[in-house]
Amino acid sequence: MVIALQACPTAPAIAEEVYVSGTIGLEYSSDFDGGPVIGRFGLELQADTRPYDWLTLVGIARLQVDFADKLEPGQPNQHNRWPASRRLLLGDEGEIELRELYADMTIDDIFIRLGKQQIVWGQADGLKVLDVVNPQSFREFILDDFDSSRTPLWSMSAQVPFGDVIAEFVWIPDNSFDDIPAPDAYFGVRSPLLLLPPVPGKNLVVEEAQRPGRFFADADYGVALTALVGNWDLSFNYLYQYNNLPQFLYAEDETTLTVSPEYTRTHMIGGSFSTSLGDFIIRGELAWFTNRSFTVARTAEPTGSVLTGELSYVLGLDYSGISDTFISVQLFQSFVQDHVPGMIRDATETNMTFYVRRTFNSDLSKIELRDVTNLGRGDGFVELSAEHELSDNITIGARVVVFYGDQFGLIGQYRSKDFFGINLEFGL
């Protein structure tokens, strides 16, 4: 869609066209007992224009109404978000969100993006290693696409070439953090790996986290260096940020258990690599984090959590040598620097992901199978989905998601939350 704008004769020359595109989505999902999980109407619009050769303006807004009201029951308080990044809530079921609004500027060889945006580091799928610059919404656990579940932040990124190396500098004054579902939400957190259980017979009080608010002192800063060396895409990444998940501190008296979330600073140092070998792509990411929070049994540590370092990596292998088929396998591992007595998680966590996509009918139809499994606890989920393009701008799809394994695991905590659904998307 193109909207023509008439320039004022006395004003500097501006673009005469604003390009507008968008999608309308309808989705209904149900659990296996017939109860609604998602009943959503969504509208997303994008507008962009180029008033000058060196300047492009882009805006993306999203309206969603979920009549089931199971993913975020009622109205979330949004205290975890910077005021300028909060959604406009429409009753209990609806919301309007400015997803992105930024200006792209090219000055000589320097590229600058200024505004509300997503900054994506790494290529891992399903689980994250380097992709921690933007916080994430977990209202659909980890089932939603990263592009949709990331929280865009008001920030500035600048890409500056130095010979064969491109340096990206990042400054983020937007102190927004992960959206964690409330306990009564469909994907509310129940695993002791994140939250310790209530004490029987005592009132549970969860205080509001004190979100950092100093514009410069509490901002996030980062740099990423990328280069092509031979046939290898390499990167070095550094980020100084607040952890997107808070540390939960516990205190107890005779009648009450009080939980106080607290956001903590971390340094992240890491890098990535990828290369192609015929029909194969080999890729990997590595990241070291300081001051990560882990839950500990309160018999060993009264506050219920400790801060320590964590090393994470992923190795991925992608294969496209079969006609109309793509296969990907990933191994994720993380290691705790100091595994103290009573820590709920193991010293080493290992996850495997498997993904296969098969297309048919000249790519008009596709089937996808995804499995994510924790090898230590044996919990995970399987998602099977299918999609077909009815026309150039109409797509219909269906999916089924089944959780399995240890009910105390990060994924197994949802083993009674299996669901299936259908969706319809219209392009504008």
Residue 253 CB contacts under 8 Å (≥ 6 apart), including other chains: none
pLDDT in tens, 311-321: 999 999 999 99
| Residue ranges making up the domain that contains 338 | 2-427
For 173, the 3-state DSSP assignment is: coil
Domains held by the chain: number: 1
Pair of tokens at residue 69: 């009201």
pLDDT in tens, 139-170: 999 999 999 999 999 999 999 999 999 999 99
Q: What is the pTM of this model?
A: 0.94
Please tell me the distance from the alpha carbon of residue 289 to that of residue 248, in angstroms, as a whole number.
18
pLDDT in tens, 242-272: 999 999 999 999 999 999 999 999 999 999 9
Q: Tell me, what CATH number does 99's domain have?
A: 2.40.160.10
Q: Is the pLDDT of residue 71 over 90?
A: yes
For 356, the 3-state DSSP assignment is: strand
Asked whether 135 and 88 are in contact (CB, 8 A), the reply is no
Q: What mean pLDDT is reported for the chain? A: 95
Asked whether 387 and 397 are in contact (CB, 8 A), the reply is yes
Pair of tokens at residue 384: 């099977």
Q: Tell me the mean pLDDT in the region 369-378.
A: 97
Pair of tokens at residue 43: 């509208």
- How far apart, in Å, are the Cα atoms of 270 and each of 47, 95, 168, 287, 365? 35, 36, 14, 4, 38
pLDDT in tens, 273-314: 999 999 999 999 999 999 999 999 999 999 999 999 999 999
